[in-house]
Amino acid sequence: MKLKHVLTVFKKEVKDLIRDRRTIMSSILLPMILIPLLNIVMGGGIQKFEKDINENVSIALSQTSDTPEINGLVTERILAKNGNIVLVDADDPSKALENDEIRCILDFEDGYVQKLKDGKPVTITLQYDESKTKSRTAADIVSSAIDEFESEIVRERLAAKGIDLDIMNPFEIQLQNVAPNQKGNNMMLEMMLPLMISMLVAVGGIPAATDLVAGEKEHNTFEPLLTTMPDRGSLLLGKYFAVTLFSFVSVAAILAGLVFGYLLNPNSLTMGVDSQVYGYEIDPLAAVLALIITIALGMTFSGIQIALSTIAKSYKEAQTYLSFLMLGSMVPAYATMFMQASDLSPVMFTLPILNTIAAFKMILGGNIIYSNLFIALVASVVFVALTLWFAASIFKKEKVLFRS
């Protein structure tokens, strides 16, 4: 194995990948455009849905409660401070709820007026449709409005008896954020960025790996390549580094698309959830270690992808094998999505994908523990060596290379 031959194979494979329009379109241009577009569209849909679900909450009184007295009580007292709730007339409230004309029904128990005068509790039943999100949310909104009305009644009763209203507030709670540099305000970024980086690095080289071995087998160009001057070790490393490079090119293209989407609509990064992105004070050494761990993750999965592509007899078979690899990378990424820097376990830094996620969460959360980062670095190097050894052992087996 010679470095000159490795570089020759590497350049040849990179040129082939650049010339392949299918690979460029499917793994660079399409994700660069599609992912931010989906985020913007989905974010807009979520914002529209949230606006619709919280505004113009239409309710009606039950047939037994639809009286001028109750109508006036609901309109003037319960809904007075809640402009988003609208009381509408419905000849058949149950039918209107079923047809989505209203979102919930208020039903007052008999004799509520006398009970109010006597200071006894009055039962108000909220009828809603659990199978409908808007109806379920409307019930919560109306319930909160009734709670506010209840507090007003209690204050009025205390005032009528000459009791100081402060008796209702034995404690005054003040919230104070003591996290430095507004840490904790970027929760959505801390959730999404490590997940996206780890997943994209893990699967970014799949199109290249599929094409460079299984694709060449299918096009009958792999056997002639084995007869050239570079030995199998040089061929493997050349392809290996090409796949690794291409995985990071794919990640860079997708991240560039996300940045472009963010410039068009800042909420696209957070899928429509209003969230400001504040500045970070990132430790340079921690950032360098996280970058090396990420590169090692890409190299680890490049070795696995090359091995699976070598085992496959055809392009489609390689795609099938590598699709399981994609699913496997999604499980740990989504399983740790809601974890914060303070929740990280040292065990996470010893496992692929999880160590990359943990490293970025640690940096973004400002809770840096260098011993864990060095553990992740050592573990990453070990995984790179193991996967490269596995790929090399597969690449040397004639019955695997030439099986039909």
- Given a contact cutoff of 8 angstroms between Cβ atoms, the answer to whether 59 and 104 are in contact is yes
Instruction: Tell me what pLDDT residue 384 has.
Output: 94
**What does the pLDDT read at residue 181?**
53
Q: What are phi and psi of 114, to 5 degrees?
A: -65, -40
pLDDT the model gives residue 357: 92
Question: Which pLDDT does position 184 carry in this prediction?
Answer: 47
Which residue reads 């007899």 in tokens? 313
pLDDT at 267: 62
Q: Tell me the domains of the chain and their CATH numbers.
A: 3-45+182-401 (no CATH), 54-168 (3.40.1710.10)
381 backbone dihedrals φ, ψ, rounded to 5°: -60, -40
User: Residue 30's pLDDT is what?
Assistant: 73
Give me the average pLDDT of each 10-residue run along the chain (404 residues): 83 81 72 71 66 80 88 86 86 90 90 81 90 87 89 85 79 72 60 82 84 84 80 88 86 76 66 51 82 91 91 87 86 86 87 91 84 93 94 84 68
**By the 8 A CB rule, do 281 and 181 touch?**
yes
Read off the pTM. 0.68
From residue 58, give the alpha-carbon distance in Å to each of 55, 66, 67, 68. Answer: 9, 15, 18, 18
